[in-house]
Amino acid sequence: MNTLESTQQQEEVFTMPRIGDKAPEFTATTTQGEINFPSDYKGEWSILFSHPADFTPVCTSEFMTFAHLEDKFKKANCNLVGLSIDGLYSHIAWLRTIKDKIKFNGMEKVEVKFPLIEDISMNVAKKYGMIQPGESKTQAVRAVFFVDPEGIVRALIYYPLSLGRNFDELYRALIAMQTSDKFNVATPADWNPGDDVIVSPAGSCGVAEERMTGTEDLECQDWFFCTKKLDKDLVLNTILKK
């Protein structure tokens, strides 16, 4: 066996976390000090997201947008945590440049206050499957992990290096998952607070018959497809912090 083969066999192999898995734990240095993830955020939601590199334009637009929306996510009981495989001093210099020089989409003098992880070793990126060799062996793709208050991965989204994220969708997904948890419902395509929600399919012939004969406060297209109204104010007052 040659040296290259030996090295490849010794490399640690990580499986990408799946929905329902415990979020892989790590301790890391960030622009806001050391963090222990996800334990530091127990009892709250978190979005852990990666970007390819500091001082790149798409990443700059994303960080400005996340920073602009941080209070909105905080009000929805959600913390933001960023990551790239650049070093801490590069992170600090880049965030200072964003605040001092960059204007984007009507935003300027934007201060990024949420932690940005230093991951030169790529240990965290590998644990979360953020390094995808078909796209890049030296940069993290644009991964997004939604982690719930119990430290469970609830959703994940991956974008290629060239594609900036849709932040309205990230927020919508967060609110939708919290709505499902709070009200024991599912949310249909393009759902937003105030839209009808979906109730679980009937589990017996009797329940199916009741639904189709209108004995419940539901609108049923068929026994398996029933919706009900869920007041927007009720949803937001239940989820959002005052």
- Enumerate the known binding-site residues for substrate: 142
Q: Determine contact, residues 32/136, Cβ cutoff 8 Å.
A: no
Distances (CA, A) of 80 to 12, 38, 48, 228: 28, 12, 6, 32
Cα-Cα-Cα-Cα dihedral of 104, 105, 111, 116, to 10°? -80
Rounded CA separation 157/92 (Å): 26
Q: Is 59 a catalytic residue?
A: yes
Within 76-131, residue ranges assigned H as helices are: 88-101, 123-127
* From 59, 78, 220, 226, the catalytic residue: 59
Check residue 31 and report its DSSP letter.
B
Q: Cα(88)–Cα(56) distance, rounded to whole angstroms?
A: 16
| Residue numbering of the annotated binding site | 142
Write out the catalytic residue numbers.
Answer: 59
